[in-house]
């Protein structure tokens, strides 16, 4: 039985808070990013990691089996999921550190650093780096085969289109009711 969530008033677009600084100060702070032309949303995207940089960092570190999954259609809280495998726990932690280093380099000179949050760093088993639009998962071999993240996001969460089972059941049933006809109920005959 699914628990039903009830929202008492309408939910506006959620603002997620990243670990260190506050989002309201973004326009003034990051002087390194030149593309501040179109206002608040654009600068939010540039201040943290984007996809090409993540790809470059992961390929530099020789992370294995990098997969990028666009989940914009299935999920509202993020746009891309990047999954990478590390050879050992040290490698996995190294991937996380390298991404943070990249973000720090990008924001050199700004008075406040907007760092993506890192979770699972102590365990070294599965490290998640949450940078807004892009979420990077760094796992080791065992964790990857245990959690099966690609099969979760590619197949199991496949866009729930029109319910095919229901349609099939309606179309193949032989009863005239399902085809849209209703036999005339003429009692005089």
Partner 1 sequence: MRTNLKVVDNSGAKRVMCIQALKGKKGARLGDTIIASVKEAQPRGKVKKGEVVYCVVVRAAMPRGRCDGSEIKFDDNAVVLVNKQGEPIGTRVFGPVPHELRKKKLVKILTLAEHIA
If one asks whether residue 130 binds partner 1 (CB under 8 A), the answer comes out as yes
Q: Counting contacts by CB under 8 A, is residue 10 touching partner 1?
A: yes
One of 46, 149, 150, 154 touching partner 1 (CB under 8 A): 149
Give whichever of 3 and 109 is closer to partner 1, judged by the CB atom: 3
Would you state the structure tokens that stand for residue 154, as one six-digit string? 């590619």
Decide: is 41 part of the binding site for partner 1 (CB under 8 A).
Answer: no
Q: Is 123 one of the binding residues for partner 1 (CB under 8 A)?
A: yes
CB of 61 to partner 1, least distance (A): 21
Q: Assess 11 for contact with partner 1 (CB under 8 A).
A: yes
81-116 burial, b at 16+ Cβ within 10 Å, e below that, comes to bbbbbbeeeebbbbbbebbbebbeebbeebeebbbb
Compute CA distances 8 → 3, 58, 77, 127, whole Å: 16, 43, 20, 35
| 68 in Cβ contact with 150 (< 8 Å) | no
161 binds partner 1 (CB under 8 A): no
By beta-carbon proximity to partner 1, the closer residue of 81 and 103 is 81
Closest CA to 123 of 105, 143, 107, 109: 143
Tell me the window of 4-12, 34-42, 58-66, 161-169 that interacts with partner 1 (CB under 8 A). Answer: 4-12
CB atoms within 10 A of CB 117: 14
Q: With binding defined as CB under 8 A, does residue 52 bind partner 1?
A: no
∠ CA 127-70-159, rounded to 5°: 115
Which residues of the chain form contacts with partner 1 (CB under 8 A)?
Answer: 1-12, 14-17, 75-77, 81, 117, 119-120, 122-123, 125-126, 128, 130, 135, 137, 146-149, 152-153, 156-157
């Amino acid at each position: 039985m699914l628990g039903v969530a009830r929202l008492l008033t309408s939910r506006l677009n959620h603002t997620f808070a990243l670990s260190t600084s506050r989002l309201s100060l973004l326009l003034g702070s990051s002087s390194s990013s030149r593309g501040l032309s179109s206002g608040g949303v654009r600068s939010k995207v540039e201040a943290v990691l984007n996809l090409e940089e993540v790809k470059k960092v992961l390929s530099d570190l020789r992370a294995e089996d990098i997969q990028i999954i666009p989940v914009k259609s299935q999920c509202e809280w993020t746009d891309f999921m990047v999954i990478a495998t590390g050879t050992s726990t040290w490698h996995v932690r190294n991937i996380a550190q390298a991404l943070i280093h990249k973000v720090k380099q990008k924001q050199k000179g700004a008075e406040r650093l907007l760092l993506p949050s890192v979770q699972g760093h102590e365990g070294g088993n599965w490290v998640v780096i949450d940078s807004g639009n892009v979420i990077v998962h760094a796992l080791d071999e065992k964790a990857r085969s245990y959690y099966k993240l690609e099969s979760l996001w590619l197949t199991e969460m496949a866009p729930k289109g029109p319910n095919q089972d229901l349609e099939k059941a309606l179309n193949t049933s032989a009863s005239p009711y399902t085809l849209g006809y209703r036999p005339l109920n003429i009692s005089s005959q």
